[in-house]
A and B are shown apart, each in its own frame.
Chain A
Amino acid sequence: MSEHAAEPIDLVPEARSPKYLRKLRVTLSVATFFNGYDGFVISLVLPLILGSLGGSESQAGVIRAVVGVGAVLGFLLAAQADRIGRRRLLLVTVIGYTAATLATAAAPSLFWLAAAQFVSQIFLAGEWAVAITIIVEEFPHHQRGRTLGAVTAMDTLGGITVGLLAFLGLQNTGLSWRAFYLVGIIPLIVIAFARRSLVETRRYEKVQHADEQKHHLDMAKLTEPWRPEYRRNLVAVGIMHFFRYAATSAAVFWFPFYAQQEVGLSLSTVGLYIGLAGIVGALGYIVGGRSMDRWGRRPTFIVYMAGAVVFGVWLFQIRDAALMLPVLCLSIFFGLGSACVTSAFSTEFFPTYVRSRAAAWCRNAFEIPGGIFGPLVVGLLGDHQTGPVGSIGDAMSLLFIATILPVAFVAIRYIGETRNLDLAAFDEATL
């Protein structure tokens, strides 16, 4: 009995120094920044790539599909963080991503480029999952939300940076589109400096140490998060990831088309709008993170979903260029900003020994397929030649209604609050 009583204290990790946490936040921000950067850069430079390497629009579609499959397969890598540790996987993913990005920059053919981007997406997907897992395990509970908000906001800033570099004319240099991929070497430089001071998360170390005697935690099985005690939360959080991302990724993908083809805005105006709205919208992550710590994950998420459905539907019904900018800002604020809350859901509902695999399931097995499904459905419904709706704007608004309302419903009915969750007690219960 006395032995059993001593266990809970053993699993409460000592606090990290503020200096270490600051450094960690910067390192993880670089990882999420390039997740956003890489996602946008392919869309932007694809016409240049086709012009340079030769290729048709249909081949461009194939490249997109191949890249999407890479992100789904990233699940297998992301899940390894529970087996080999968070620190080691972060280093592996950064090195792998950098190598694949450099291979993309050197691509002599479309086939090479598609293969390099496929590999790059596998490592990026792993990087994202391990980054949010490290935040949840290293930062004290009252800072978790705001740190998740700040680090996930870098995803959007990565996308904005692509637009900024294009605005500054990076594509007009001698390296053309290849210059965008050479920027991808930055994470390796940051990690090269941070590597020595970056240590394994204390929570992971403690759980691994505590299990050394008993050996009853399965740190490798991919389906471990589907055990009966975790399955309901995994399914609920997974459904929310799928539907939320189906709507938001379709909005990100189709907005430029809608604004140009259905509202009549120029390409340059659309680029300017996306840049401005992205900066304002990135505040959605920051505000969401702080609200999570103050009011809780669930109420913050419900408010964000309400905002996403209102402004998402409205945005794709607007025909007035002046009104479009503020509504676009609010759509990004609520729609994309809610990612910081879903990243908390995908990690905090699960104990340390299975956390990274649960995050990988939510991100790679639910969210990314949602990101393929949403744009596809809108394209089929809204196609101006063959779509039954014939309007991308209406198809997008319909998708927001069809998907975001169920997300809010699941959050209200089936999601618990994890703001004051005792992660150590959660881990103790599993040992």
Chain B
Amino acid sequence: MKRLFAVAALAAFLLVACGGTNRPEGVVERWLVSLNQGKAGEPQKYAEPEVTDSVLPNWKTCDPGSLDVTEVGQHGAGPNGSVFVPYRIKYASDLSSCETSAKPTAPLNGSAVVRMQGGDWRVTALQARSASDPLKVPSEGGEPIGNAPLSVWLITLGASAVLMLICALIIRAQPEPAPLPKESRS
């Protein structure tokens, strides 16, 4: 019962902790990952159809893995409540499965314009990013989407110590085992 309570408490903590965050970078990343699933993907959930088509025209017919690289960096503020999310994509060498003569028009190194619509972030446009643009993806030296502050690392060390204590208490509560016979004859 105590163990069940501990698991429930952890689950509640995680749900509460996850509840207050809604990063636009996550939506851009999910859109690209979903777009890269071929027929099984659902990129329309995250972006306007014309934006999706500019990356992979006729995407429903494309094989999974048409994008060899999909990377997203930390966002910057844009006009009228929008945000710019830097991204980098690289196509797989063969896009013949996409069954279309239309070529992708989206910039390989660009920024996704993301707006809040009906309580959810949505990709509404893509624009090119120059080398001098302050927005960068991590592999270009930009900031990662998120990271753990020092306090979280310290809390984790503390949690590890607490876990050790709990393990010790649980194990010591069990009866002492019989000594193991040594010096094997087989």
Contact = CB atoms under 8 A, between A and B. Distances in A.
Interface in B131-162: 137-139, 144-148, 152-153, 156-157, 159-160
A375 to B, nearest CB: 13
Given A385-B22, A390-B147, A402-B156, A57 B185 contact: no
Interface in B23-52: 23, 25-27, 29-30, 33-34, 37-42
14 contacts: A48-B64, A50-B37, A51-B39, A260-B70, A262-B138, A266-B69, A319-B139, A384-B23, A384-B26, A385-B30, A394-B147, A421-B181, A425-B181, A429-B181
A235 interface: yes
A405 B160 contact: yes
A235 B171 contact: yes
A264 B178 CA distance: 54
A44 B172 CA distance: 43
B80 to A, nearest CB: 22
A140 B186 contact: yes
Interface residues of B, number: 63
Contacts of A382: 146
Contacts of B156: 398, 401-402
Contacts of A229: 175, 177-178
A2 to B, nearest CB: 20
A57 B29 contact: no
Contacts of B92: 267
Contacts of A429: 178, 181
B153 A398 contact: yes
Contacts of B19: 386
B148 A398 contact: yes
Given A385-B27, A390-B146, A231 B174 contact: yes
Nearest to B7: A373
B114 to A, nearest CB: 11
Given A260-B69, A264-B69, A403-B160, 12 more contacts: A47-B37, A57-B41, A261-B72, A262-B145, A383-B18, A384-B23, A384-B25, A385-B25, A390-B23, A391-B147, A401-B157, A421-B184
Nearest to A257: B33
Contacts, number: 202
A112 B90 CA distance: 36
A299 interface: no
B18 A51 contact: no
A386 B22 contact: yes
B152 A57 contact: no
B164 A405 contact: yes
A2 B174 CA distance: 36
B104 interface: no
Q: Which 6 A-B pairs have the closest CB atoms?
A: A390-B146, A385-B26, A264-B139, A50-B40, A425-B181, A232-B174
Contact of A390 (B33, B145, B160, B163): B145
A261 B27 CA distance: 13
Interface in A188-223: none
B72 A384 contact: yes
B163 A406 contact: yes
Interface in A393-425: 393-395, 397-398, 401-403, 405-406, 409-410, 413-414, 416-418, 420-425
B6 interface: no
Given A57-B34, A235-B170, A402 B159 contact: yes
B68 A267 contact: yes
Contacts of B23: 384-386, 390
B180 A421 contact: yes
A389 interface: yes
B2 interface: no
Contacts of A56: 40, 42
A381 interface: yes
B97 to A, nearest CB: 11
A226 B107 CA distance: 62
Contacts of B64: 47-48, 51
A60 B29 CA distance: 18
B163 A422 contact: no
A277 to B, nearest CB: 20
Interface string A32-66: 00000000000000011011001111001000000
A15 interface: yes
A232 B148 contact: no
B177 A389 contact: no
B168 interface: yes
A422 B37 CA distance: 55
A15 B17 CA distance: 58
A273 interface: no
Given A12-B186, A422-B182, A426-B181, A388 B17 contact: yes
A381 B40 contact: no
A319 B143 CA distance: 11
B14 interface: yes
Interface in B49-85: 64-65, 68-72
B167 interface: yes
Nearest to A415: B171
Interface in A236-250: 236, 239, 243
Contacts of B180: 349, 416-418, 421, 426
B52 to A, nearest CB: 16
A141 interface: yes
B148 A389 contact: yes
A398 B171 contact: no
A48 B37 CA distance: 9
